Each structure stands twice: as C-alpha cells, then as structure tokens.
Structure 1
Amino acid sequence: MVDARVETERAINSLELCVQALFDNGGREIPMDLTQAGAGRTAYTFCEPIAPVVAISAFNHPLNLIVHQVGPAVAAGCPVLIKPALETPLSCRSFVNILHEAGLPEAWCRFAPCANQTAEKMVTDRRMAFVSFIGSANVGWTLRSKLAPGTRVALEHGGAAPVIVDRDVECKSVIASLLKGGFYHSGQVCVSVQRVFVPTDELADFEDQLGRRVASLIGSDPADLRTECGPLIRPAEVDRVESWVAEAVKGGGTLSAGGRRLGDTMFEPTVIVNPPSEAKVSRQEIFGPVICLYGYNDLDDAIAQANGIPYAFQAAVFTNRMSVAKRCIEMLAGSTVLVNDHTAFRVDWMPFAGLKQSGLGTGGIGYTMADMTVRKMAVLNWSHQA
C-alpha cells in the first residue's frame, strides 16, 4: 500500500515532466556560413513525431512504467498502443481512460491487453515506427531481432546490481540503505541490490548485522501498511527463487537469513554469503527478495567481479574516501554509479539505461520523448534570389 501511494505520486510527477519536456523539445539554428560551401544559406531543425509507437510494459510498477512509455508518446504527438503485463492490466486501463476523459481522442492511445503472440504481431508490424519494451532480456532481445527494417526500439531489462562496501564504513547506515534497495517491492525491481562486496576481514560482522535486520523484516499482505516485504507476482516465481537459493547453498553458499518459501507467493527475505561465482544468484537477475554477500581483499578484484557478468545497469559504492569513489565511478560497469546510496535509487527525470544485455537506449521522461521524435532540418538557400 505504501509503495502504491509512492508510485501514484511518481506517476503524477512524470506526467508533469512530460508537459515540461514540451518546452525543451524545440529545434535550433544550424550555422551555415562557417565555410564558403554554406554561404547564402540558413538552416534550422525542428521536431516531428516519429509515428506509431507500440509499448509493452512490466508488472512491477504497473502505473508509473505505463506513464513513462505512454506520456512521452502522447506529448511527442505519436499514436500509441500500450500492452500492459498480463498480471497487472487495471492500472494501465485506468490511465488510458483518464487520458480519454481529458480529451485525448481514443484512437490516439489504445489500451491493448493481449496474449504475447498478438503483442509480437503488433511489434513486428511494418507500420510501427518505435517499440518501447520493459521486461525480461530474453523476450526483449528476441523481439528486437524480429523488428521490421527501420523500426527503432528502446529496451529496458534488468541486471544483478553490484554494491561495493569500502573498508571502515559505518555499517548501520549502509545496511539501512541496502534493506531499502534490496527488498523494496520484494526485490522485483530491475536495479534491485543483489550482489554486495565487503572487505573479507569485515564480512562476518557485516553479515551478522545485515542478517539480523533482514530476519526482522515484516512480510505480509501488501495492503498492510506495516509490510516491508510482500509477495512475488506469481507462484512460479517463488519456485524459481527457491531453486536458485537451493543451488547457491548446495554449491557452498551460507544462509545468513531466510531461505524458505512461506507460501504459494511468499519467499522469506534472504541473505546468502559467498555463493559460488557460477551460481545463478551470482550471474543472473533474481528479481526476488535475495541479497548475496561476497568477501574481497582488493578493490580492483571486487570491481572485476562486479563487472564480470553480461548485465550492467546501476551500480553503487559506499565509502568515506574520494579516491575510492572516483575509482568505482570510473571502473564499475553501468550507466549510473551511485556513491553512498543503494542501486535502486531513481528519479523520473534522470537518464536510466541498461548496458550490455541489460537494455538498449535511454529511459527517463525527456530522453524517451527525444527518442520518439525525429529532428528534421530545413536548409534555405537564398543565394538564388534576384
């Protein structure tokens, strides 16, 4: 319930950002007389809508993600078909209805709940100029390979976000931040804290403090305002998380907290210490309430381990030393590196981009709106005038 209220406020703010972006979406004059070749000419650019957009969205932020896809399209002047996640269509339907009630012609924005096969036909239709996809990497990259020539695409997948904890950092504030970044939405966030690297000689104490705090998290009905870690989206996801945790423990990882399913849709908030580097929890996005801890002796080795997977989105470092902050900012793979903050931090106007297999293109209201427009240039030749 708390998260839903926050998301609704963000969605409202995101729409306001779409309006503000209209003021920045103009063109500019291009100087022509810098050389003799351009003499006698003037030129300027202006923005045109790219044309029809199809947007496929995810379940974990069923309102604000829709706003991030549909709002920029409408603001840019693009008609849009929006397919919500099958499990969470109602927020999308409500938002589209609000747009129509506000005066947007129904044909300009269509609520299109459908099976995945139908969605693929929409995406691959030659009339579509732009595809916005938020969801799993396997599905997104497969759809991209099937696009008609000339169709542009933005993909937002996920990662296994790394956090490096420098030595001699006060644990209490770090752990409070990791709890938020790792268990917000029960870990069902594309930049959720997943892999945390701690100096080996400080690992035991860090593990103890984090494990005790995670074990005290309240898991319950998300409508209960006290709930800190709620259910996963479907029973199959609990099965998957359970199997990944079991694999990590069987391979030598140690449970510091959690590790059990609590029902068809609930899994305990979990901490695993030193799972094998080849385990799924160390290499793939778990999208569940699990944080992994790893000991390290050398900062560059920790950075190399953090970077050693085919996904990169947001990363973080907790440190009191500017030299370490600068080193991590320069060397950690990711489009954003946060210093003394968790990896799930985001505001809706910042650039938001997955690298490697984590995505393609840049999200964020103004950036998405720019992707959905074409900058056309006019060149006027006055030299032929009498």
Structure 2
Amino acid sequence: MSLEVVNPFDLSPIGSVPVASWEEVDAYLAEAHALYRNRDGWMKPHQRAKILHRAMEIMEQRKDHLAHQIANEGGKPLVDAKVEVDRAINGVELCIHEMGALKGTEIPMGLTAAGDGRFGWTSREPIGVVVAVSAFNHPLNLIVHQVAPAVATGCPVIVKPSGDTPLSCFEFISILHEAGLPEGWARAVSPPRDVSEKLVTDPRAAFFSFIGSAAVGWSLKSKLAPGTRCALEHGGVAPVIVDPSADMDKTVASLTKGGFYHSGQVCVSVQRVFAHSSIVGELSSKLAAAANALKVGNAIDGDVECGPLIRPREVDRVAEWVEEARAGGAEVLCGGEKLSDTTYAPTVLLNPSPDATISKNEVFGPVVCVYSYDDVNHAIAQANSLDVAFQAAVFTNDLASAMNSYRNLDASAVMVNDHSAFRVDWMPFAGLKHSGHGVGGIPYTMHEMTIEKMIVINS
C-alpha cells in the first residue's frame, strides 16, 4: 500500500511513499530503542559529524532537484524553495558546529561542609529515541530541524512527515543513509493516523518533536507516556504595529513578503497589521497594490510568487472566512476571491471586525488584515487579546515606540522594522500560550534532545 503525492496546484500525481503498518513501525521502534540502550554501540561525535558533512555534500549536489521537489509537492514558489534548500544545508552545518557547544560545567562542591572533599561536573548525553511529526509548509527544512539535531546528538530518530509532503522527508533520510548513517538510526514512516498516535505515545519514545496544528499537538501531548519530553510548534495570528514615523515604502515591501510568502502558509506569517489612523489609508492602499501585483500559479514555474494552498478545502475555508469578514463590514481592498479550486487571490482586508473569525484565528492563507488605531496601547491590547502568541513586529523610527511595543506585545520575539516571519535557524523560535511548548531553533533543539548528567567524586 502506498500514499500518492500530488502537485497541489493541478493535483497531478508526482510520486508516492509506502504506508507503514504498526508491525513495521513497532519493529523500527524496537530497533531504535535497542540502539540507544546499547551504550557501547553509540556512534562517536566525530563519526556523526562526518556523516552530516557528507550529507551536506550530497545535498549541495542535488540542490536543484531538492528545490523542484519542494515546489512540486508543497506549492512553495521555486524561488523560495531554493532558499529553503540553502537553509536546510546550513542547518545541517549548524548541527555539526553545535556539537562542540554541547558541554557540561563544573559544580562547586565545597560551599558547605557537607560538600568538602568532593568534585562534581556534568556532561551531556543523548536523551533516547526521538519521534518527530512534521508539517507540510517547509517539507525539507522542518525535517532537518527535527532530524539532524537528533543525529548530531546521537539519538535514534523516527520521523513522520506531513501526508501532503512526504517526498522531501524520505529523501533527506535516504541522503543520511547514503552518507553513512546506519538505517536504524533514522527512519521515515508514513503510517495511518491511529498508527502514528501509537508511535508518538509509545513509552520507548524519549522525546517528541511536533510541528503542526495546535489541536493535534496539544492532544498528543496529553497522551504521551510518562517521562516523554516534548517540544510543540504551532501557529499564531501574528500582529504588527505600524506607527506614523515608519518608512512607508520599506514597511509595505516587508509586509508584502511577510504576509504573502508561501501564500501565507507560515506559522508566523503577517496577519494582523495595526496602523495609526494618520497613515492607515496610505499603508493599506499601497499594500493592496503590492499584493494585487503578485503572480499566482504553479509553484514550479520560476516567475510565480504565490503558489496554491496545500489542499482545495483550505481554499474553501479561506474564502468562507473572507466572506464572513466582508459581511461583517470589512473592506476588501484587493483579492477576496478564489482564482481556482486550488488558489486564492492575495487579499488585503481593511478593518474587519475584531470578532470575525479571520481576526481571531490563524488564516494560513494569503490574507492580511489592516486595522486602524489612534491609541497604540489599545492596538497592543487587541494584539494581545488572543490565546495564541508567537512572533510579532513593529515598524517605527522612534526608539521609544519600538521599546514600548517590545515590552508590551505578547510574543517570544519582536522584530523592529522587519516582518514577523523573519527567522534565522540558530535563534530561539518558540510559541507562547496555545502556540507551542518548548523552544525550537537548532541549538535549542539539540539541548532539549540531550540530558545533563552529573558525576560527583569523593576524594
């Protein structure tokens, strides 16, 4: 039995991966657990680094193929898919570099008489079997963020990619094997939902890495076996504050990229823009003009800037949310319509109701909402009113304004004069409230995939 993968623009078949049964998954878990329990068989750091170096070389040789595959299965425009491949290669390199930073510390023992004559220090060792479940929107780089840190730290890993975009994941695992990693140390599987849940909640899983919807992530966390640690990365409804001192043209260009990159299918995509009433008309009209100029089409075409949504039903959902907002008084400045069963026009809404679905929930589509404000503290209060919080942004040339937004926005990161979707792979990346649990970013993930173990010697 196999899972067919289609291009999300024209729904044409482009490949398939095998559907794993519980018997196969159970065997992989047993093998991974046995590898971890056999401490004498752990790969040395220099062996793991050599494998990752070789994997980088293979990825460099196949950059064009990998980028086309990302665009073909995930609908990310080719120009952005090429950037994703570069980031994925750099991510593997970052894992190698961070291996040298995984170290312990000396713990002073003589601070009380009870500690006299003793020496203590810590070291880091792998936590155990890592089980990862991933999302569709960055089908190679997300896998690198979940799998390469496990390899670097010496953890056996089993990864389940999104059923929409499994090809890049299976290929990365294959590249690791080609680079010299024994197969049991990294497996890709695509089982049915019930088997996936058994995999995640199995007591042999020491660490669970999840990227996807909050409903699924929090549900799975509640079912984890006692002792299993986890990191959850969900979505937000990213707020942006724009004050009158902001550079208008630079702000519009940044918001256009942050809002419509990958057709808004990014967990920190610009969604709610709060602009001062003195500039809201100019900002919203210029943003609408920029959005209206974006070319929508098949992501594998080199000049396409906005690809399809991942499934036709997502197009229908976005259309329903926009129509609800329109009926509630929002002004549709551009877009606001399905272009086909698989694409939706880049859309800018002006002043939708704060109670509209699109004002409260992650749209994960090519829609940016602009709201007018007079008192920035009221705008920040509205930005903070939701049960999600991830990254945010403020556009201003006033230092006091920047610091006020930084201090008061509910966010794990606040970008100043940059859009909310900015990220480099070595920075902390963490959802707050319902948006996640734990901290992502390759160095932080590697830290969470290890334990700090202490030795005390009585001399």
Q: Does residue 1:189 correspond to 2:269, yes or no?
A: no
Q: Does residue 1:274 correspond to 2:356, yes or no?
A: no
Q: How far is the alpha carbon of 1:205 from its aligned partner?
A: 1.8
Cα distance per residue 1:85-128 (max 9 Å; x no partner): 00111101110001011111101111111222211110111111
Q: How far is the alpha carbon of 1:34 from its aligned partner?
A: 2.0
3-state SS of 1:144 partner: helix
Q: How far is the alpha carbon of 1:250 from its aligned partner?
A: 0.8
3-state SS of 2:369 partner: strand
1:335 partner amino acid: S
Q: Which residue of 1 aligns with 2:142?
A: 65
TM-score w.r.t. the length of structure 2 is 0.82
Q: How far is the alpha carbon of 1:201 from its aligned partner?
A: 2.6
3-state SS of 1:69 partner: helix
Structure 2 distance, partners of 1:110, 1:279, is 43
Cα distance per residue 1:245-280 (max 9 Å; x no partner): 111111111101100001111000000111111111
Please give the root-mean-square deviation of Cα atoms over the aligned residues, in Å: 0.8
Structure 2 distance, partners of 1:16, 1:169, is 37
Q: Which residue of 2 aligns with 1:340?
A: 417
1:168 partner amino acid: S
Q: Which residue of 1 aligns with 2:325?
A: 248
Q: Which residue of 2 aligns with 1:311?
A: 388
Q: Given that residues 245 and 398 in structure 2 are in contact (C-alpha distance below 8 angstroms), is that contact kept between their aligned partners in structure 1? A: no
2:343 partner amino acid: M
Q: Which residue of 1 aligns with 2:119?
A: 42
Q: Which residue of 2 aligns with 1:77?
A: 154
Structure 2 distance, partners of 1:117, 1:182, is 35
1:347 partner amino acid: V
Cα distance per residue 1:343-362 (max 9 Å; x no partner): 00000000000000000000
Structure 2 distance, partners of 1:63, 1:256, is 35
Q: Which residue of 1 aligns with 2:28?
A: none
Q: Which residue of 2 aligns with 1:93?
A: 170
Structure 2 distance, partners of 1:366, 1:213, is 36
Q: How far is the alpha carbon of 1:341 from its aligned partner?
A: 0.2
Structure 2 counterpart of 1:33, from 107, 110, 121: 110
Q: Which residue of 1 aligns with 2:179?
A: 102
Q: Does residue 1:162 correspond to 2:239, yes or no?
A: yes
The number of equivalent residue pairs is 382
3-state SS of 1:201 partner: coil
Q: Which residue of 2 aligns with 1:328?
A: 405
Q: Which residue of 1 aligns with 2:254?
A: 177
1:259 partner amino acid: G
Structure 1 distance, partners of 2:391, 2:268, is 6
Structure 2 distance, partners of 1:213, 1:340, is 18
Q: Which residue of 2 aligns with 1:137?
A: 214
Structure 2 counterpart of 1:120, from 175, 197, 202: 197
Q: How far is the alpha carbon of 1:168 from its aligned partner?
A: 3.2
- 1:345-356 equivalence runs, <5 A: 345-356=422-433
Structure 1 distance, partners of 2:202, 2:109, is 39
TM-score w.r.t. the length of structure 1 is 0.98
Q: Which residue of 1 aligns with 2:303?
A: 226
The structure 1 segments of at least 4 consecutive aligned residues displaced by more than 4 Å after TM superposition are: none
Q: Given that residues 157 and 190 in structure 1 are in contact (C-alpha distance below 8 angstroms), is that contact kept between their aligned partners in structure 2? A: yes
Q: Which moved more, 1:140-149 or 1:111-120?
A: 111-120
Q: Which residue of 2 aligns with 1:151?
A: 228
Q: Given that residues 86 and 114 in structure 1 are in contact (C-alpha distance below 8 angstroms), is that contact kept between their aligned partners in structure 2? A: no
Cα distance per residue 1:57-108 (max 9 Å; x no partner): 0000000000000001111111111000001111011100010111111011
Q: Given that residues 316 and 338 in structure 1 are in contact (C-alpha distance below 8 angstroms), is that contact kept between their aligned partners in structure 2? A: yes
Structure 1 distance, partners of 2:183, 2:247, is 55
Structure 1 distance, partners of 2:424, 2:283, is 29
Structure 2 distance, partners of 1:128, 1:74, is 15
Structure 1 distance, partners of 2:390, 2:119, is 42
Sequence identity of aligned pairs in percent? 59
- Give ranges in structure 1 of 5+ residues lacking alignment: none
3-state SS of 1:6 partner: helix
- Give ranges in structure 2 of 5+ residues lacking alignment: 1-77
Structure 2 distance, partners of 1:283, 1:149, is 34
Q: Given that residues 247 and 396 in structure 2 are in contact (C-alpha distance below 8 angstroms), is that contact kept between their aligned partners in structure 1? A: no
Q: Which residue of 2 aligns with 1:262?
A: 339
Structure 1 distance, partners of 2:352, 2:140, is 35
Structure 1 distance, partners of 2:451, 2:433, is 26
Structure 1 distance, partners of 2:281, 2:435, is 32
Q: Which moved more, 1:224-233 or 1:255-264?
A: 224-233
